[in-house]
A and B are shown apart, each in its own frame.
Chain A
Amino acid sequence: MSYIALSDQDKKEMLARIGVSSVDELFGCLPDEIKLKRKLNLREALTEPELLRRFEELSAKNSYVDHLSFLGAGIYRHFIPTVVDSLSSRGEFLTPYTPYQPEISQGTLQVIFEYQTLICQLTGMDVSNASLYDGAMAAAEAVLMANRLNGRPKVLVARSLHPQYRETIRTYVKNLGVRIEEIAFGDCGGIQTEDLLKHLDKNTSAVLVQSPNFFGAVEELKKFCDLAHQHQALFIVAVAEAASLGVLEAPGQIGADIVCGEAQSFGLAPSFGGPHLGFMACKKEHLRQLPGRIGGQTKDVDGRRGFVLTLSTREQHIRREKATSNICTNQAWCALRATMFLETLGQDGLREWAVQNIQKADYALGRLTAVTGIKARFTGPVFNEFVLEFSRDVQAVEAGLRAKGIVGGLGLKGFYPELAPCALFCVTEVHTKAEIDRLAVALEEVLR
């Protein structure tokens, strides 16, 4: 299949106007010795029906989707209202560039403005950017932003922060002289106050805590925020399950300085991990250190309201190596879907959605911990995930479930050797009572 729109006659006439006899001549500005003298060694071109069949075959090799699954750990399966797919697939939203020409990009720009407003309302923060790549990268950018704001060399990161977020932070700071120290978690599932106090000092740039954390546990943000502020350190909250913002206290309310995270839950399918939606919001006094695109409101020459990309002097295309971040292309279309998702759910729908997650997870936790050989690993309150400890080898349990068409939780041994007998389970509004019961029965059989 070719997407070339020129006829042979067009090509001939165009070459004539240019004044060359062949296309090869146009490549005369390349040294001959580097020109490829053979065809690329790739499979021959496919037509549309062949292409569809090829990808249907590949898709069918993902037998995961035929299983009942309770995986979460940063990627969540939620229902996506039809309007989100229907509207976001319009060519007018899918095929424009970054809105550099605001007069013909008001659709994208107004959506960015609405998205930023929604993120501010959800997080309780003053200002938001227009998106970052994903939650892990957003957490890394938050750490760098804190370091720019106060110049201190050490960042305290909760060990209950998503392991891949911690890895990404370490990658980002490795060559920049920022030191990362981890704060241990306790039996409640949240970080230990004593351990935080042990690490907090005048070199601490920021404290980064995820809530609900990787184990699903809701952290005592207010307490940790106050402690960080007592040491003039910034307090960063990472949110990996954005659905929680529908009912849990906004991090801005407890005094957080930067809130970042992953908003995949807002209208984006699991998609094997991407593309998803990193978000970041902060207090207004830090606006000029915020990385990424920012949309703003202004007026046109006739006095009508309009929207533009603004504060671009923070950005790489103006400031080059002094920019707040190197990000250019971001996740605008994902932010558009999040905006559609949130506006479709609305105030009441959002809360009901979040509450159903809590109720179903609680039901599941009760049902599963009633099974002999299973207990809850942590004691603290959770949102829609929880850690179970098994009397039997976790891998054997997983295999047993698999044989029954179930992908259970995520075994934690790889991420947390200290939690080897444990697995992380996620239950959202899409899981029916019957499915949760099916999991419980299956576990009873596997552990018998």
Chain B
Amino acid sequence: MIREPLIFEISAKGKQAFRLPKLDVPAKAGLLEGLPVRDGIPGFPQVSEVETVRHFTRLSQQNYCVDLGFYPLGSCTMKYNPKINERVAALPGFVESHPLAPAELVQGNLEVLKLVEDALCEIAGMDAFTVQPSAGAQGELTGMMLIHACHEAAGRPRKIVLIPDSAHGTNPSSAHLCGYSVQEIKSNENGTIDLEDLARRMTEDVAALMVTNPNTLGVFEYDICKIAEIVHAKGGFLYMDGANMNALTGVCRPGDMGVDVIHINLHKTFSTPHGGGGPGSGPVGVRKIFEPFLPVPRVERKGGAFVLRFDRPQSIGRVRSFYGNFLVIIKALAYILSLGPEGLRELAETAVLNANYIRKSLDKDYHLKYATPTLHECVFSDKYQKENGVSNLDIAKRLIDLGVHPPTMSFPLIVHGALMIEPTETESRRDLDMFIEAMKQIAREAKDNPEVLKSAPHDSYVRRLDETAAARNPIVKWEKGK
């Protein structure tokens, strides 16, 4: 196997992979003398085109990806990313248009934004959506800011946000970034919110409860309407983290459960590719009372045309430049239009079917901390395997040998040694069965040959990496001679 060096290590003076046309305006001598100019960039690469192409092609081959196989990362919703969506998002009218172009020259783009907002309103049962937030975490922050602005406008700013102990780490972090202090709500024996604990903590100092539904165990908060009542009775708002909307599309709508503000991850539920860590998109939906506070600008229909409105005095402002990750938004719209109303319901149904199939197929081999029924994902633990000294990490690394991507590990925090599995709706029976068989083999190996797990992976490009050393003595860039 070729071990691909860093580009800097194959660089050689004078090589170039790209050339610009000759300058076609008269070059003004001495122009640079009026500017603070640098003398070259030490170490900056110089390579030929073929070397560049092989460099990245070889690197690409060291990546696992959805196009290659099953990717059951819980709460990440790694579904198939349709190729046609890439094609439509690459149309020149979208790619080449400038965000500050006059509105009348980018009517197609504004229509796209409006179409997406309207579709998301219908899917989530909300009154208005903004697609400005760049990813889920920015959606959460935007949602928190909307709640903050709404309380403040009513003359009663609040200090606390309640978050269940099963929540993703971005929830408390986003609430904190909006200036709130965070209080944790305990999960009960079913893995859902403890209503008594909630009622006790839900005071008039509490701005909102942030809830993920279905939660990170894949369990639907059966008492969601009661939860909304408890929160609303004290003048608080119910924020829903819509990371797990994949379980619900066409089946039920957050707006019908008393949710006031929600964010949805287009790179999860609506199939836009994850790109090795983004770009994503985290639109935020709200009930009507929050509409005046939404980020500017807003797209509106005026006569037969679309306009951008900036004159919104109560708006929280912008959370980024322009209108969001526009090309990502296009891909999500393409998914929604491809599926239609029946397809969106079939999406949730199949995601839930696949997850329950895996759960049932493995519940003798792996420990399930919560017996509660689950929807689109299930969370096992390594409790049985721990008896032989095998951890969830060993299980994950052995899956790599067997050709599948490991599940999400060590999360949610309320399950020790967690293995969180989300198959999504796009997997074939064959891929599901391959995964199930691999997990069963690992369960057998944990008893018969635990060593093979502890030393896994065996055949990958690199084997287990020393992450402790990486953090203790950080090397975060290449330096000549080092």
Contacts and interface: CB of A to CB of B under 8 A. Distances in A.
A346 B31 contact: no
B237 interface: no
Given A274-B326, A329-B274, A381-B35, 10 more contacts: A6-B429, A19-B360, A36-B250, A74-B321, A106-B461, A131-B277, A133-B320, A316-B173, A328-B136, A330-B279
B481 interface: no
Contacts of B107: 61-62
Identify the interface centre among A134, A168, A275: most chain B CB within 10 Å of its CB.
A275
Contacts of B80: 3
B89 to A, nearest CB: 8
18 contacts: A14-B357, A26-B352, A30-B222, A36-B256, A40-B344, A75-B98, A93-B275, A113-B477, A117-B8, A172-B177, A249-B36, A272-B94, A273-B324, A274-B328, A296-B475, A301-B466, A310-B471, A333-B276
Interface string B156-199: 00000000000011101111111101100000000000000000
B273 A59 contact: no
Contacts of B375: 26-27, 29
B277 A64 contact: no
A296 B468 CA distance: 11
B275 A110 contact: no
Interface stretch (B22-30, B284-292, B384-392, B442-450): B22-30
Interface string A219-241: 00110000000000000000000
B318 interface: yes
Contacts of B20: 79, 349, 352-353, 356, 429
B25 A436 contact: yes
A183 interface: no
B298 interface: no
Contact of A381 (B34, B278, B356): B34
Interface string B11-52: 100111111100111111001101111101111111101001
Identify the interface centre among B61, B148, B251, B275: most chain A CB within 10 Å of its CB.
B275
Given A17-B357, A34-B225, A41-B341, A346 B47 contact: yes
Interface residues of A, number: 201
Contacts of B57: 87, 90
Given A54-B337, A83-B53, A96-B63, A300 B466 contact: yes
Identify the interface centre among B71, B222, B463: most chain A CB within 10 Å of its CB.
B463
Nearest to B43: A121
A61 B108 contact: yes
A295 to B, nearest CB: 7
B38 A253 contact: yes
B8 A114 contact: yes
A28 B112 CA distance: 36
A273 B60 contact: no
A35 interface: yes
A161 to B, nearest CB: 12
Contact of A350 (B44, B170, B175, B427): B44
Interface residue tally of chain B, by bracket?
A: 35 or more
A44 B340 contact: yes
Contacts of A363: 25-26, 28
Nearest to B466: A298
Contact of B169 (A45, A74, A316, A347): A316
B117 interface: no
A136 interface: yes
Contact of B463 (A31, A61, A118, A301): A301
Nearest to A45: B340
A23 B353 contact: yes
Interface in B315-369: 316-328, 330, 334, 336-347, 349-350, 352-354, 356-357, 360-361
A92 B425 contact: no
A241 B208 CA distance: 40
A92 B65 contact: yes
A271 B95 contact: yes
B460 A118 contact: no
A343 B7 contact: yes
Interface stretch (A150-158, A199-207, A317-325, A368-376): A317-325
A383 to B, nearest CB: 8
Interface in A1-45: 1-7, 10-11, 13-15, 17-20, 23, 26-31, 33-36, 39-45
B343 A59 contact: no
Interface string B60-99: 1111111110010100101111101011100111111111
A114 B478 contact: yes
A94 B273 contact: yes
A327 interface: yes
B372 to A, nearest CB: 8
Contact of A407 (B105, B119, B225, B346): B105
B302 interface: no
Contact of B136 (A43, A299, A329, A407): A329
Interface string A90-114: 1111111111111111111011011
Given A95-B81, A107-B62, A328-B136, A131 B278 contact: yes
Contacts of A75: 98-100, 322
